[in-house]
Amino acid sequence: MIKLREKLDQNKLLPIYLFSKLRIYKERVRLSLYPDSNLNKYDGLTDKEYFLTEELNLSETYQLIFRVDLKDFGYIVDGYEELWREKDDGGLGKLHFQIDKVDYRERKVRLNGSLFGNSEDLDSKAAADIEIFGLKAADLTDLKLYQELLLEGYLLEIEKSYRMAFFSYFTAIEAYVSETLESIKENLFPELHEPLENLQLDHKVRIIARDSLKTNDLNSIKFWGEFAGLLRDLKNKRNNIAHGKSKEVISIEVVNDCFACLLVLISFSEYGKKTLEEIRQLAYPKII
């Protein structure tokens, strides 16, 4: 699973997008072009470079955001869809913007920029095109519990709260297992439901694997030994911390391991993938 964990260390957003109904939104937002008074003095019609700071508040529209990209910026010109970096009516008005900071929890984006021009250019209409990876409030009603926990875990990971991210990802595994067992219980006598629910997590996962992979010999699945061993280690780590038996610091590597276990579990349970290469291709498809 080394290669898979290396991919996850570089980019978790793609498999999260595939498995949690994360969406990509494109928006055009207006820019105020107010000079930052802490950095420069307003000089009216004098052409000079003005430094600009813009804060976009996305919290009213978005419930969760995980990435924001600045795709374009410039002046709005009537009759044109594209934005213009420079004015075409005699003013200088050369614009430049970049993302300075994203507060994912508060859903705010700070842009820093500059304008070379004068007061007439500052008073002009300007906008930015941004691309947002996230979810709006209405989208959350479609999420399952394990998906909510997965998204919360990733938000905590972005904030470098690795211990809480680990617990959130691990709880997502437990929630996914519980949800998947419900469909298996439909084919069992009611007397077997309670014994099934009382099994250890490891045994529940084995039942799900046998059912989804259509085999009684899990040793024939090449990744099974490594996956089962990693899941067992993570369960022990989680239990030791939860019961106060360990003060171990959770690293990003442990967080990646936990995420990898959830990814493998979903891949063989929902998609019947039997090799790590198939799982990698599912999570990171080639985009033509």
205 pLDDT above the threshold of 80: yes
- The pTM of this model reads 0.89
167 pLDDT above the threshold of 80: yes
Summarize the confidence of residues 257-263 as an average pLDDT.
96
Among residues 116, 171, 140, the alpha carbon closest in space to that of 163 is found at: 171
103 pLDDT above the threshold of 70: yes
Confidence of residue 259 (pLDDT cuts 50, 70, 90): very high
Return the domain boundaries, the chain.
2-17+143-283, 22-139
89 pLDDT above the threshold of 70: no
Question: Of all residues in the chain, what percent carry a pLDDT higher than 70?
Answer: 96
Average pLDDT of the chain?
90
Confidence of residue 288 (pLDDT cuts 50, 70, 90): very low
Summarize the confidence of residues 173-196 as an average pLDDT.
81
